Amino acid sequence: MQNGNSNIVHNYFVDEAGDLTLFDKKGRVIVGNERVSKCFMVGFAYVPNPEKAKAKLELLRKELLTDPYFKNVPSMQPENRKTAFIFHAKNDLPEVRREVFKLLLTFESKVQIAIRRKLELAKSAQLLFKVSGKKLNENDIYDDLVKRLFRNSLHKADENIIHFARRGNSERNAALELAINKAKVNFQFRYNISADKPVKIIPAYPNEFIGLQIIDYYLWALQRFYEKGEDRFYQLLENDFRLIMDLDDTRKKVYGEWYSDRNKLDLKKIMPV
């Protein structure tokens, strides 16, 4: 995407899937219990033309809301602030998801996702507390994944705009800027190429930027893949996933298993969560 000055501007949209709940109130590991996620994922979607994507998805929403088939569906009622308000894969009906997936395939988005396995995080948290008496900081985990995601991405445009889905009520701009700066430094150290391009950070809610609704769908598809062994949603969007970093699958490499065009993700390959 180019702005009025012909500068190349890249828009990224960042969200998460799962949560970082590891223990109950008595300090017992609850990962694997019912309704407790097994993975925590942070991902971005680079959307080449956010305005075009917004127009298409908003048109789809209007069409769905006027379809008699959905007339009395609770999630389609504006007062419930679900599908009538934003597309959110977890809340959307299967019929709605199918229509959204069709449109996603037309946007030419490029998606990268980093994964932490919560059982491994729980072990790290227990060791940290035993050695130092400190608790594992959830924001530190999130920021580390952001740093990893953007290490090889910020040198490709004249300006980068990164839209972060708000986490609770905190914007955390300073911490996110620090993570992005670390990503730049790591890239420059590895390749000896400057990545010092302007980066604008925008914390936002999904209703404010359609790109946050787009990355939500990709994260949901990958989460179903890992946690449910359900690969049909991932396979539908497979070509848009440019990199998936499974950081705690260290069976072969200390830095984890990375999936891309050269190493295709497959249910038979992944370490069970």
Supply the pLDDT for residue 98.
97
- 271 within some domain: no
Residue 14 has pLDDT above 90, yes or no: yes
Asked whether 29 and 122 are in contact (CB, 8 A), the reply is: yes
In a domain, 66, yes or no: no
Give the pLDDT confidence score for residue 91 in this predicted structure.
94
Q: Are 79 and 240 in contact (CB under 8 A)?
A: no
Q: Identify the pLDDT of residue 2.
A: 58
Q: Is residue 124 part of a domain?
A: yes
Give me the pLDDT at residue 239, please.
Answer: 97
Q: What percent of the chain lies above the pLDDT cut of 70?
A: 96
Give the per-residue pLDDT at 187.
82
Q: Does a structural domain hold residue 82? A: no
pLDDT of residue 5: 56
CATH number of the structural domain spanning residue 189:
3.30.420
Mean of the per-residue pLDDT values of the chain: 92
- Judged against a pLDDT cut of 80, whether residue 22 lies above it is answered with yes
pLDDT greater at residue 173 or residue 83: 83
Residue 193 confidence (pLDDT) above 80 = no
Mean pLDDT of 102-107: 97
Query: 3-class DSSP state for residue 112?
Result: strand
pLDDT tens figures, 210-263: 999 999 999 999 999 999 999 999 999 999 999 999 999 999 999 999 999 999
At 144 the pLDDT is 94
pLDDT value for 147: 94
207 lies in some domain: yes
Predicted local confidence at residue 181, as pLDDT? 87
Q: Residue 260: helix, strand or coil by DSSP?
A: strand
More confident residue, 186 or 88: 88
Tell whether 169 is covered by a domain.
yes
Residue 118 lies in a domain: yes
pLDDT at 195 over 60: yes
Give mean pLDDT, residues 87-93.
Answer: 96
The answer on pLDDT for 3 being more than 70 is no
Q: What is the dihedral of CA 265, 268, 271, 272, to 10 degrees?
A: 120
**pLDDT score for 192:** 72
Domain count, the chain: 1
The pLDDT value recorded for residue 188 is: 77
Domain limits at 174? 9-48+108-259
| pLDDT number for residue 196 | 75
pTM: 0.93
Residues 184/178, Cβ–Cβ less than 8 Å: no
Q: Where are the alpha helices (DSSP H) in the chain?
A: 50-65, 94-104, 118-132, 138-150, 173-191, 210-228, 232-237
Averaged pLDDT for residues 24-45: 94
Give pLDDT tens digits for 137-188. 999 999 999 999 999 898 889 999 999 998 766 667 788 888 888 888 888 7
